[in-house]
Amino acid sequence: MSKVKAVIFDAYGTLFDVNSAAEKCKNQIGDKWEGFANYWRITQLEYTWLRSLMKRHKDFWKVTEDSLDKSMKVFNISQNMKDELLLLYKKLSTFPEVNETLKQLKNKNLKLAILSNGSPDLLNELVNSNNLTEVFDDLFSIEEVKIYKPDNKVYQIPINKYKIKPEEIFFLSSNTWDVSGGGNYGYQSIWVNRNNNIFDNLDYKPKHEIKNLKQLLDII
The residues that are catalytic are 10
How are beta strands 6-9 and 169-173 bridged, if at all? Answer: parallel
| Helix residue spans in 90-212 (DSSP H) | 98-106, 120-129, 152-162, 176-185
The β-bridge partners of 169 are 6
Residue 111 in 3-state DSSP? strand
What is the number of H-type helices and E-type strands within the chain?
9, 6
Nearest to 110 by CA among 157, 152, 156, 162: 162
Per-residue CA distances from 66 to 11, 45, 46, 82, 100 (Å): 20, 11, 11, 11, 34
- CA dihedral (16, 11, 63, 43) in degrees, to 10, reads -70
Q: Where are the beta strands (DSSP E) in 2-92?
A: 6-9
Instruction: Report DSSP state, residue 94.
Output: B
